[in-house]
Amino acid sequence: MATGNLTNILRLLNTEGIGPVTFYKLLEKHGDIETALEAIAAKKKVVTTTEAECMIADAEKKNVKIIPYTSPIYPQQLLQINDAPPVIYALGNIELLNYPYSVAVVGARNASIAGRKIASRIAYDLTQADVLVVSGMARGIDAAAHKGALYAKQQQGPTIAVLGTGVDEIYPLENADLYNDICRQGLAISEFALGTKAQVSNFPRRNRIISALTQGLLVAEASLNSGSLITARLALEQGKEIFAVPGSPLENRAAGPNRLIKEGAVLTESAEDILNVLSMTANRQIKISKIESLPLDKAENNVNISVQNTAEKTKSENVNLLDLISFEGVDIDVLLRTSNLSQADFFTQILDLEFSGKIQRQAGNKVARLK
């Protein structure tokens, strides 16, 4: 798209009182964006060409791509909703925007350790099976899902984070390292202009984007009044598959997923449940790393496990990674080779230790034991 057209889109979109729905209604009424701008300018102050060009220049300095709805790389699934953002700001690998298979993973911010583990493990296994994980980079389930995806594919797994801030703003700050990893291996996107700070009203708005980008949505933990259930309703309206991890009826964080299951969501205990519903296993073989990560009774239904492999797996599961991690830090690749664990078992233990507060990630692809 020509820069001039992008300039005019930004002028109209950033004029006070104009959101996505109004933007498209104005185009429909006036026929083109230039005529719409002229009509609005007669009634209110419109963002100037200079101001819009400064927005574009600022994005270029920060390596952020501004992708308008008219661009061929704009996500086609996103265009299916009537309030699709006229532009999205993207930082990272923009080729992920039209990834063939994707699933959203959402849930409680105050998630339990068990909830974070299952979300991370499912995200890891989905990514290993070439399904892109999309989430919102919030603390709790969102962060766990992103981490699981990033650990997959020998720590090169992609993931998309849909932000409720400008794409150049990190929120929450505790996820700064996660944000940097996502931008390096995956993609961070937002409909909000650069520099937009966290506002309560922005996070429910971004949820429609999370659901629209995917073929299905998984809720791991959520209360009945949570934003995750709102996202699930949006996904249902968009014709997406809904998945939910069941939990104890005594646990408030399980109330949301349990309700969704009662209403017809797919009860989900592993990535295999999602892959089966998406009919992916019927068209191609699930990768061996995916099968290895299943409980043994389920794995035996999919592959023939020899006595030797079973013995090796049992032996590897007895390795205590914490004993191999120093307080000064150790390179993850070195740790993987030293442990003799399979990749799936290794990263499961790493994530368990991280979520339990026993280790922490360090710069330079290292992990260190916490005192």
> Are residue 143 and residue 192 in the same domain, yes or no?
yes
Is residue 285 situated within a structural domain?
no
CATH of the domain at 342: 1.10.10.10
pLDDT number for residue 318: 57
| Inter-CA distances, 252 with 17, 255, 256, Å | 39, 5, 8
CA distance 354 to 368: 10
What is Dmax (Cα atoms) for the chain? Answer: 79
**Of the residues 259, 277, 295, which one is the last residue of a structural domain?**
277
User: How many domains does one find in the chain?
Assistant: 3
Instruction: List 360's β-bridge partners, or say none.
Output: 368
pLDDT tens, 65-115? 999 999 999 999 999 999 999 999 999 999 999 999 999 999 999 999 999
Instruction: Judge contact between 148 and 250, C-beta under 8 A.
Output: no
pLDDT tens, 305-326? 223 343 344 344 457 888 888 8
pLDDT number for residue 314: 37
> Are residue 2 and residue 103 in the same domain, yes or no?
no
Is residue 4 situated within a structural domain?
yes
Which helix (H) or strand (E) segment is 343 a member of?
helix 343-355
> Are residue 99 and residue 248 in the same domain, yes or no?
yes
CA distance 238 to 19: 20
Query: Whose structure tokens read 């429909």?
Result: 28
Q: What is the mean pLDDT of residues 274-286?
A: 65
pLDDT tens, 137-155? 999 999 999 999 999 998 9
**Which tokens hold the place of 185?**
């291996």
> Are residue 237 and residue 337 in the same domain, yes or no?
no
pTM: 0.82
> Are residue 168 and residue 254 in the same domain, yes or no?
yes
> Are residue 133 and residue 270 in the same domain, yes or no?
yes
CATH of the domain at 148: 3.40.50.450
- How many CB atoms within 10 Å of residue 91? 24
Q: Vertex 93, ends 89 and 94: CA angle to 5°?
A: 50
> Are residue 30 and residue 144 in the same domain, yes or no?
no
Write out the residue range of the structural domain in which residue 57 sits.
Answer: 1-61
Which of 53, 44, 49 has its CA nearest to residue 16?
A: 44
**Of the residues 227, 257, 277, which one is the last residue of a structural domain?**
277
> Are residue 177 and residue 236 in the same domain, yes or no?
yes
What order do you get walking across the sheet with 65-68 strand by strand?
Answer: 65-68, 87-92, 187-190, 159-162, 132-135, 102-106, 216-219, 241-244, 266-267
Helix (H, G, I), strand (E, B) or coil at 135: strand
> Are residue 320 and residue 260 in the same domain, yes or no?
no
